[in-house]
Amino acid sequence: MTTPRLIDRHPTISGDEIVAAMVPPPRFSEVGFATYIPNPDEPSQAEAVLKGQAFAARVTRDNRSKSWVKSLFAAKEPTAKRGLYLDGGFGVGKTHLLASLWHEVPGPKAYGTFVELTHLVGALGFVEAVKRLSEHRLLAIDEFELDDPGDTTLVTRLLQELTEAGTFVAATSNTLPEKLGEGRFAADDFLREIRSVSARFDVVRVDGPDYRHRGLPDAPEPMTDEQLVASAEATPGATLDDFDALCAHLAKLHPSRYGRLVSDVTAVHLRNVHAAPDQDVALRLVAFADRLYDRAVPVAVSGLPLSELFTDEMLHGGYRKKYLRAVSRLIALSREAGVRG
């Protein structure tokens, strides 16, 4: 029996489906502030829990009526900051904290990654997206990043409309708000927009080492091709793909579809892994790694180890933090593959 391949899947997702699916992913579906274990050597982590709980209480108490029509067409009134921004390195538990905050707040509420949010606006149109999202008490945005001028302009307008309509916004990022876009595009030309985004958030710093690798052994060595095939065949619900073929397939799908691509997969097996040939491929692999991690899908490979997925040049460029996060998550998933194997 032939092992299924991801490249044979062609998932689609509509704007309505994105809205309906805006909840924390499976890995974070049952977390809470009580299940976040702060590193005793990093006081900012315990402080972040307290500030997250305080923000959740504030959102819960707020009964301000929302009107998307008013937000779009009426005169704007100054409002207090309605945003919380969790800033810190990868592997410090920011997503855990964000999902905990989301679970703590009564609905209506929405949770999604930054790429899902921008795709939603594209699918529904700006006015309809504002109408839908402004009906929510809270919008939680994971992996908040500004990679290009289009995103910067779009998100500036979106956050303005939502917060002035009364929606609270919580976000996670590896980059301070005022540093968004640095090294990725001519951010100096968009300082007004970036400052506008920054002004809507109270920033909470979450420091510490990557918990995913604290006290754990190194990632498993890559398998031989024969071992990889045997592992895939022995794992019900697993997939097996050639790395280059998967990279080509990802290029044909919007990143917002990557989650659905692996939604019912029990383990991903990739044959002949090598360093990403260029930045476009690398960034797609980052988005793919994030969705695998969200859904706790183990990853087994042959070829190069996952720690060598990105070149030294990439790891020293503007997307360095993204690549390091992806490596951290993929290594954790490769350990999970080793445990299941």
Domain ranges of the chain: 31-209, 213-340
Residue among 267, 275, 281 nearest 228 (CA): 267
- Of 38-52, 210-224, 266-280, 283-297, which gets the smallest average pLDDT? 210-224
Between CA 93 and CA 43 the distance in angstroms is 14
Residue among 35, 6, 52 nearest 285 (CA): 6
Tokens of residue 250, six digits? 């990802």
CATH for 31-209 is 3.40.50.300
- Tell me how far CA of residue 220 lies from CA of 84, 333, 335, in angstroms: 37, 10, 6
- What's the mean pLDDT in 36-59? 95
In this prediction, residue 64 has a pLDDT band, given cuts at 50, 70 and 90, of low
Domains 31-209 and 213-340 share a fold: yes
In this prediction, residue 228 has a pLDDT band, given cuts at 50, 70 and 90, of very high
In this prediction, residue 76 has a pLDDT band, given cuts at 50, 70 and 90, of very low
CATH-assigned architecture of domain 213-340: 3-Layer(aba) Sandwich (3.40)
- What pLDDT score does 123 carry? 83
Q: Is 152 helix (H, G, I), strand (E, B) or coil?
A: helix
Task: Calculate the average pLDDT of the chain.
Answer: 86
Residue among 244, 223, 261 nearest 337 (CA): 223
- Of 29-33, 144-148, 305-309, 332-336, which gets the smallest average pLDDT? 144-148
Are residues 294 and 27 in contact, defined by beta-carbon separation less than 8 angstroms?
yes
* Percent of the chain at pLDDT exceeding 90: 58
How do residues 116-129 score in pLDDT, each as one tens digit? 888 888 888 999 99
- What pLDDT score does 68 carry? 42
Report pTM: 0.78
- What's the mean pLDDT in 30-55? 96
- What pLDDT score does 2 carry? 86
Between CA 46 and CA 67 the distance in angstroms is 36
Are residues 247 and 281 in contact, defined by beta-carbon separation less than 8 angstroms?
yes
Q: In sequence order, what are the beta bridge partners of 115?
A: none
Q: Is 188 helix (H, G, I), strand (E, B) or coil?
A: helix
Distant-in-sequence, close-in-space partners of 257: CB < 8 Å, separation ≥ 6: 11, 12, 13
- What pLDDT score does 186 carry? 58
How do residues 169-194 score in pLDDT, each as one tens digit? 999 988 766 666 565 555 566 667 76
Between CA 174 and CA 91 the distance in angstroms is 10
Residue 223 confidence (pLDDT) above 80: yes
Are residues 290 and 329 in contact, defined by beta-carbon separation less than 8 angstroms?
yes
Residue among 274, 267, 268 nearest 310 (CA): 274
Residue 92 confidence (pLDDT) above 80: yes
In this prediction, residue 239 has a pLDDT band, given cuts at 50, 70 and 90, of very high
**What one-letter code names the amino acid at 167?**
T
- What pLDDT score does 75 carry? 45
